[in-house]
Structure 1
Amino acid sequence: MTAIGFVTRNDNGGFRGELKTLSIRAHIDIVPSAKSTEAQPDFRILAQGVEIGAGWIRRGESSGKDYVSLSLAAPELGSRKLYANLGRAVGLGDDNGFFLIWNPGD
């Protein structure tokens, strides 16, 4: 599993942290989104006030636990979308810390 960032959960249910790859380093906010239909994302991903993606709450097939699946797109990322899941940062002493785990399979 490749971590491409780290975020911390906010009091409002969103997340704040950093997206980091070999060529990109950006502070990001993952903010709750007001949904009017089930298909709309649960979160919007912002970098410097610009929307660069969205996130959906999914349920793990084997674990049955909820997680957040992210989809990011911006010119800096090239022509393909970048997919990641939020995974708990076990062992860092903070229950509110999550890694952005790159998901190349989506």
Structure 2
Amino acid sequence: MANIGNFTKAEDGTFTGTIKTLALNTKAKFSPLEQTGNGGPDFRIFAGNVEIGAAWKKTSQQDRPYLSVKLDDPSLPAPIYASLHEDEQPSQFSMIWTRPQAK
């Protein structure tokens, strides 16, 4: 597991922070979407005005909420899958990347 981002949650439900990997080093914003019930994402993720991903609300096996994140950009060889978890400090979140297990 690797921490690839740190975010702060605002009162309006947005998350702002930075994403840092070997390929990305950018400020990012999670903008909440109104749900339509079609399984679509709960958030769109932007770097400036460019959409770089989406996130879905999930609940862990320990009954803790988190966001399942998919980042993609033409500069990346493949999408990045990560999760956004709340830290011990209120309104502070870490983006954690793990390599998916081979089936």
5+ residue gaps in structure 2? none
AA at the equivalent of 2:97: W
Equivalent in the alignment of 2:68? 69
Shift of 1:104: 1.7
Q: Work out whether 1:54 is the aligned partner of 2:54.
A: yes
Q: Work out whether 1:9 is the aligned partner of 2:4.
A: no
TM norm structure 1: 0.87
Correspondence list, 1:84-95, <5 A: 84-90=82-88, 94-95=89-90
AA at the equivalent of 2:70: S
TM norm structure 2: 0.89
Sequence identity (%): 34
5+ residue gaps in structure 1? none
Q: How many residues align?
A: 101
Task: Report the RMSD for the aligned CA atoms in angstroms.
Answer: 1.4
AA at the equivalent of 2:6: F
C-alpha separation in 1, matches of 2:12 and 2:98: 26
Shift of 1:22: 2.5
